[in-house]
Amino acid sequence: MRSDMITLKQMRHALAVAEQASFRKAAESCALSQSALSSSITEMERLLGFKVFERDNRRVLVTGMGKVMLAKARGIVTDAADLVSLVDQVRTPLSGPMSIGVIPTIAPYLLPVILPTLEDSHPNLQLTIDEDQSRPLVDRVLAGQLDTAIVALPYDCSGLLTFPFWDEDFYYVVHRDDADVVGGFIDLERIELSRLMLLNEGHCLKDHALAVCGLSSEERVSTRGTSLSTLIQLVMGRFGSTLVPEIALPHLVANNPDLSFARLNEEGPHRSLAFAVRTNYPGLHNIEHLKVLLRERLLDMRQCLVDGSEKTNTMFEIN
């Protein structure tokens, strides 16, 4: 190796300093002494021929050339990590580390379905799960900070590949004393829109629900909840009605005697669940395996809804 080339380790150290805006904090995150980290950065700057950081006793700033260098370094470090991941994952599907982001209107309902299966069938999978809204997750996949994200389509995933694995419709949920709705379908015309409660701005589920109903955010629809659980509690308090995706029914609605629900009778599917990955992500075979597992478990869940509440409760029991 040429002695005048900067190393991946030096790039990682520089990225840590930029992220933490502190040599001390960066050293801690890299499990190094501050002097060792500083020496690594100084040597890297010598090889580059320009300063990446301006620093004094109070702050650390990235120079103009440093910003250009760090952007390229970030891509190189991501590609190197993908290469290592490829070597590990080709040997055995769904083994080794894997990071997945999941949006809040999917995570609480999907994870109890799939995690026990993954633990039993793929014990060597080292899964890290982050829950966040769609935009931050998509950005983190693009930046190489997550391997993949489970999002709900339609959504702008420009620059990424999407692999749908589940289509579902929305269900109208109302207090049993407020409407005669039990199973079956309900037409949009029967819904009192002024009492329809949806999630607050920033949740793609709200946008999907408005689109299905042919509404805009300016129309008379209440946005009261930061989660589907909150909306269901409001419905139980008879503050209005709401729409929930099929995946959430067994957890939130199906066995609650205070609630009635019916499938929204609008052309579907109303949303599709999908994996979003980088175009050059080396673990696509893992995504294919996960797609099959998730679809099988979700089909079981759908059948449980058809068969009755007793089987649904058993399926979703969490030890």
Over residues 276-291, the pLDDT tens digits come to 999 999 889 899 999 9
Please tell me the predicted confidence (pLDDT) of residue 318.
22
Query: Rounded to whole angstroms, how far apart are CA atoms 234 and 238?
Result: 6
Query: Domain extents for the chain?
Result: 8-85, 95-166+271-315, 170-264
Over residues 77-101, the pLDDT tens digits come to 999 888 877 666 566 788 888 999 9
Query: Rounded to whole angstroms, how far apart are CA atoms 305 and 293?
Result: 19
Over residues 88-137, the pLDDT tens digits come to 656 678 888 899 999 999 999 999 989 999 999 999 899 999 999 999 99
CATH topology of domain 95-166+271-315: D-Maltodextrin-Binding Protein; domain 2 (3.40.190)
Please tell me the predicted confidence (pLDDT) of residue 312.
35
> pLDDT over 90 for what percent of the chain?
59
pTM of the model: 0.68
Please tell me the predicted confidence (pLDDT) of residue 315.
29
Query: Rounded to whole angstroms, how far apart are CA atoms 24 and 28?
Result: 6
Query: Rounded to whole angstroms, how far apart are CA atoms 21 and 205?
Result: 36
CATH topology of domain 8-85: Arc Repressor Mutant, subunit A (1.10.10)
Over residues 197-227, the pLDDT tens digits come to 988 876 788 888 888 887 765 555 666 677 8
Please tell me the predicted confidence (pLDDT) of residue 213.
80
The CATH class, in words, for 170-264 is alpha beta
Please tell me the predicted confidence (pLDDT) of residue 254.
79
Residue 82 has phi, psi (to 5 degrees) of -65, -40
